[in-house]
Amino acid sequence: MRIIEAFVILPLVFAFLIPFVKEKGKGIIVIMVILINALLSSYFAVNSLLGKSYEFFLPGSLISGLIPIRIDSLSGWFILIINFVFITGCFYGLFYMKAYKKQKNSISLHAISFIILHSTLISLCVIQNSLVFLVVWEIMALSAFLVIIFENEKSATVKAGINYLIQSHVCILFLMFGFIWAAIDQNSFDFKNISLFTSGNDGKAIILFLIFFIGFAIKSGFVPFHTWLPYAHPAAPAHISGIMSGVIIKIGIFGILRMILLIKPDYTLIGYIILTVSVISGLYGVMQAIIQHNLKKLLAYHSIENIGIIGIGIGIGCIGMGSGNQTLTTLGFAGALLHTLNHGLFKSLLFYTAGNVYQATHTLNIENLGGLVKKMPQTTFLFLIAAIAISGIPPFNGFVSEFLIYNGLYSWLHNATLAALITIVFSILALVLIGGLAMLCFTKAFGIVFLGNPRQQFNHEVKEVSLFQLIPLYLIAFFIVFIGLFPDLFLNVLNYPVSLFTGILDKNFKPFNTVVAIRSISQTMWVLILVVILVFSIRRFITRKKSIVTLTTWGCGYVGIATKTQYTANSFIRPYRKLFKPFLLIFKHKKNIEGIFPDSAHYESHSYDKIEKMLIDNPIRAYKSFLGKFVFLQNGKLQFYIIYGITFILAVICIPIIYKIFFIFIEFLKQL
């Protein structure tokens, strides 16, 4: 109990000190608080993953009642992910934020919000009082908003932050409605009573789950609830973008998993719903990512894609629960939980390397970049590792979790009905297409940004960031490689979280024998990599005394400036853009070549989210058009405003009188 009190009090005390210390002191305080919070919460998290669960009750009020704090293995898994991403993000942010040291007030607010954000995310994993949960969720949303709008002098940043805040409150409305519905019936805010509320009533359970699913799906970024995400990620500082993608959107995944355990609806039906939404999210996310020219916006759409992959695992896990297929349940939820960790690793690494690129070049426009491998070799190497991992290619961690989900789908083939068979085929095809398109996207991103020749001459020196800023990135890269090499260690840790869904704890359960196949594939790939390294080492040793001549990149047979003959981000994906044209929305601005001796030509394209246009822009435009019909009421003439006031007063007086007369008339009719 004292540890919990320390977890609550320490952040508040240190946050109060931040405005009164110098810039270096602010960073040290933030790191110290994050480390202390991480150590305190990780103690319970690690023990929960070893099979021990905790339950505490904090004193509440007459309204909330006792506040239960429950830590099980599901909470423990997410707490450890949150802590790791925040620790690496905190150390990276300490050096990243040196470029903004003149913004003293903004840095203080940013540091305080950062601490509160970490504390609230951990708290949401353990609080099981719906009223307090909603309050903490609101604090989390507000603190996330504040760290997003750090560069508030930019109108685009403020607009993105407000967009996030509005949609966060739409999310809260759904959660509030679900919690209030359950609390009114059970006269309690305890999460355990949600199970009692839906017990024996499948219709009520499905409706309640869908309400919660929509609320948490908005936070997670499932399509079509994703439209805030591609704006918030690019607007935030790089370390916040990594944390947002790594853990903030994952708190929505945690909420969905928690509601699956509490509500117990028709698992087969909700499994199909989640699977459908997830397949659409995965495909749409990667399709939109390919056509982006802003590097961080490209990565933001890949977060939607990976949320879709996690959702596919959850969907097939739920179907396994509904059909009693323990193998399907285990592989589905194990793949989803492991991919939650994996995505937190490689996506935070991608955002941090994108932050390095931004600090070195002052731009995120892919069309203006190129040749950075010569200027920033370590950032290039780290981006490449994360790009391979997110594409699901062995021997890195992304391959392991996606392989588990693939295995789940193939295991479902046994004794599948016709409807299930069609679902399996389309799901496998979707996963294959997602993986292939992800490879296309990151081939474009890596090739255009880091390879070739520079496409733009900068007025400043482009150089690698400091070693201290790279250390947390190397730590993340280590775990990306480590999970790919030793997946069994992490899958064994998942025994207890997965057992919450299967109801059976069996460390020797057959699906985890899949690890043998995964490990052999990863180890074979590492042998291949080592052979390649050996060959290049021998070549370098033999040619060490020969002079090295650096020449320009081959221009495909064209003479002239090689920069002009290189692929652009737009030309690289032109065949894809034409093939998937019905699903994309692209605006072109061009000046055609005219005459025998043309002067100049210009071509550029801008993409826009088609779903955002249909579901948000068009309804808002129609709403504005409707309100525009009443603009005549605000005509600026004093006599009209006096009439409005008199009309309002008369309405306030007359409506109760009319209601009373109507009531008397009804009573009179009853007597007749």
Burial group, residue 369, by CB count within 10 angstroms (0-12, 13-18, 19+): buried
Question: Are 379 and 463 within 8 A, CB to CB?
Answer: no
> 549 vs 174, which has greater pLDDT?
174
Two structure tokens written together for 595? 């005459």
**Cα dist. 429→277, 422, 425 in Å?**
15, 11, 6
Q: Give residue 510's pLDDT band: very low, low, confident or very high (50, 70, 90).
A: low
Which amino acid, 522?
Answer: S
Q: Among 258-267, 412-421, 475-484, which stretch is predicted with the lowest mean pLDDT?
A: 412-421
Q: What is the pLDDT of residues 106-146, one digit of tens each?
A: 788 888 999 999 999 999 999 999 999 999 999 999 999 99
Instruction: Note the residue count of the chain.
Output: 672
**Cα dist. 325→127, 491, 507 in Å?**
31, 19, 17
Q: What is the pLDDT of residues 123-134, one digit of tens each?
A: 999 999 999 999
**Cα separation, 575 vs 573, whole angstroms:** 6
With b for 16 or more beta-carbon neighbours within 10 A and e for fewer, the 653-665 pattern comes to: eeeeeeeeeeeee
Q: Among 75-79, 485-489, 507-511, 619-623, which stretch is predicted with the lowest mean pLDDT?
A: 507-511
Percent of the chain clearing pLDDT 70 (strictly above): 92
Q: What is the pLDDT of residues 374-399, one digit of tens each?
A: 899 999 999 999 999 999 988 888 99
Percent of the chain clearing pLDDT 90 (strictly above): 49
Per-residue model confidence (pLDDT) at position 279: 96
| pLDDT reading at 10 higher than 80 | no
Q: Give residue 438's pLDDT band: very low, low, confident or very high (50, 70, 90).
A: very high
Which amino acid, 31?
Answer: I
Q: What is the pLDDT of residues 177-188, one digit of tens each?
A: 999 998 888 888
Q: Give residue 4's pLDDT band: very low, low, confident or very high (50, 70, 90).
A: low
Q: Closest by alpha carbon to 567, among 301, 291, 370?
A: 370
Q: Among 107-121, 178-192, 590-604, 631-645, which stretch is predicted with the lowest mean pLDDT?
A: 590-604
User: DSSP assignment of 381-446, as one string?
Assistant: HHHHHHHHHHTT-TTSHHHHHHHHHHHHHHHTTTT--HHHHHHHHHHHHHHHHHHHHHHHHHHHHH
Two structure tokens written together for 496? 């207890």
Question: Are 502 and 330 within 8 A, CB to CB?
Answer: yes
Q: Give residue 348's pLDDT band: very low, low, confident or very high (50, 70, 90).
A: very high
Q: Closest by alpha carbon to 83, among 36, 130, 129, 22?
A: 36
Per-residue model confidence (pLDDT) at position 286: 94
> 655 vs 72, which has greater pLDDT?
72
Q: What is the pLDDT of residues 337-346, one digit of tens each?
A: 999 999 999 9
Write down the pTM of the prediction: 0.90
User: What kind and span of H or E run contains 60?
Assistant: strand 54-61
What are the two backbone dihedrals, phi and then psi, of residue 445, each rounded to the nearest 5 degrees? -60, -50
Task: For residue 199, give the 3-state DSSP assignment.
Answer: coil
| pLDDT reading at 509 higher than 60 | no
Q: What is the pLDDT of residues 325-336, one digit of tens each?
A: 888 999 999 999
Domain residue extents for the chain:
1-200+231-248, 562-594+601-610, 630-671
Question: Are 49 and 83 within 8 A, CB to CB?
Answer: no
